[in-house]
Amino acid sequence: MTKRSCLMLCAALAAAIPAVVVGQGEKYPVTVIPPGKGPYTFAPDYQTPWDKIQIMVTARMSPNLFVLHGSEGLDPAHPEASGGRVMVLFGPDGVLMVDSQNRQVAEKTLAAIRSFTAAPIKVLVNTHIHSDHTGANAFFARQGALIFAQADLRAEMLRPPLRANGQPAPAPDMAGVPVSTYAFNPGTAGQPAVTFTMNGETVDLIPMMPSHTAGDTIVRFRTANAIYIEDFYRNFGYPFADQANGGSIKGMLDAVDLFEKVANADTTLVPGHGTFVKKKDLLAYRAMLVDVLARVTALRKQGKSLKDVLAANLTAPYDKTTLGDTQQSKDRFITEVYDEAEGLPPVVDGKRTMPAHP
């Protein structure tokens, strides 16, 4: 071997080493594949090619707590990485999953889990009802998972709100409906409703106030010092309070404030989408919610219509620092704030009857 070829080979070997050494001296969390940044564009008639979407280990939060997420650039609902994140705690006590991803990629999600553990699937926790977080519930129940969630999520699943076109949603597959439920209690906000001790971890299911939906749960892993914070916070696209499913912009402010109680400065917060953050990173998001809520409320008090308020382009100061700032994302956010500016209808069975906008 010449000196030159040794240099090249040795350099190649050195570059390959981090990929094969797992778990020794790693500083967690380890990001394997970060979400994309965009911008992304899709043709109006674009259909998600589910067969092309891969489900991959995109981060490791500890030696036995992994994060799964889908491919970038294919799913217009979440172009930065398809679907919602799944967290998987594994070991001799079996597998605990947080969220189940889209139904269309259920086999691929299971295959990704089987790439690192053969342990039985025991527990599935749903952070909220959206199909990118619960779509494969029935599939994983058939693998053996007992499903946990807030009672409001179960109610939303059993009696879903009407679709945007006014049509009723199809009846759920009962195998995928959570069977162990708990409720948010304002008097004990931040305290776990359920705690699991598994695989060297302590896992807290903490029910949230109506924020992204009425049935939100955050999931804290005490040993890894990580919390799956679901979708009340996002850093790809503008905030989404699913008010028909009981969500609320003001509830999102309360959700941010709860992190004073449930996280420390070093806790890694894992949103359903976008990049990982720390609790201090929630503050700019909170300030934006407060600012936009105040501006929209003032315009509404002056008698402005939704159309006028949308035209006022109130998100302009935030577009530069908001990835995925599409017109659709802005309009949805401003419409939510407009609907909330004069109060929201009450939550009944996890749902609110929201006004229709032509």
Per CB under 5 A, residues contacting Zn ion are 130, 231
Q: How far is the CB of 7 from Zn ion (least distance, A)?
A: 50
Specify whether the CB–CB gap between 28 and 223 falls below 8 A: no
Q: How far is the CB of 176 from Zn ion (least distance, A)?
A: 16
DSSP letter for 63, please.
T
d(CA 8, CA 96): 44
Under 8 Å CB-to-CB from 185, ≥6 apart: which residues?
207
Tell me whether residue 130 or residue 250 sits nearer to Zn ion (CB atom).
130
Tell me whether residue 29 or residue 135 sits nearer to Zn ion (CB atom).
135
Tokens 């109006």 belong to 44
SS (H, E, C) 311-330: HCCCCHHHHCCCECCCHHHH
Tell me whether residue 192 or residue 272 sits nearer to Zn ion (CB atom).
272
Q: How far is the CB of 216 from Zn ion (least distance, A)?
A: 9
Tell me whether residue 71 or residue 102 sits nearer to Zn ion (CB atom).
102
Nearest to 189 by CA among 163, 154, 216, 171: 216
Tell me whether residue 29 or residue 237 sits nearer to Zn ion (CB atom).
237
Q: How far is the CB of 96 from Zn ion (least distance, A)?
A: 20
SS3 348: strand
Q: How far is the CB of 225 from Zn ion (least distance, A)?
A: 24
Assigned token pair, 347: 């939550």
Q: How far is the CB of 265 from Zn ion (least distance, A)?
A: 26
Specify whether the CB–CB gap between 340 and 293 falls below 8 A: yes
Tell me whether residue 103 or residue 130 sits nearer to Zn ion (CB atom).
130
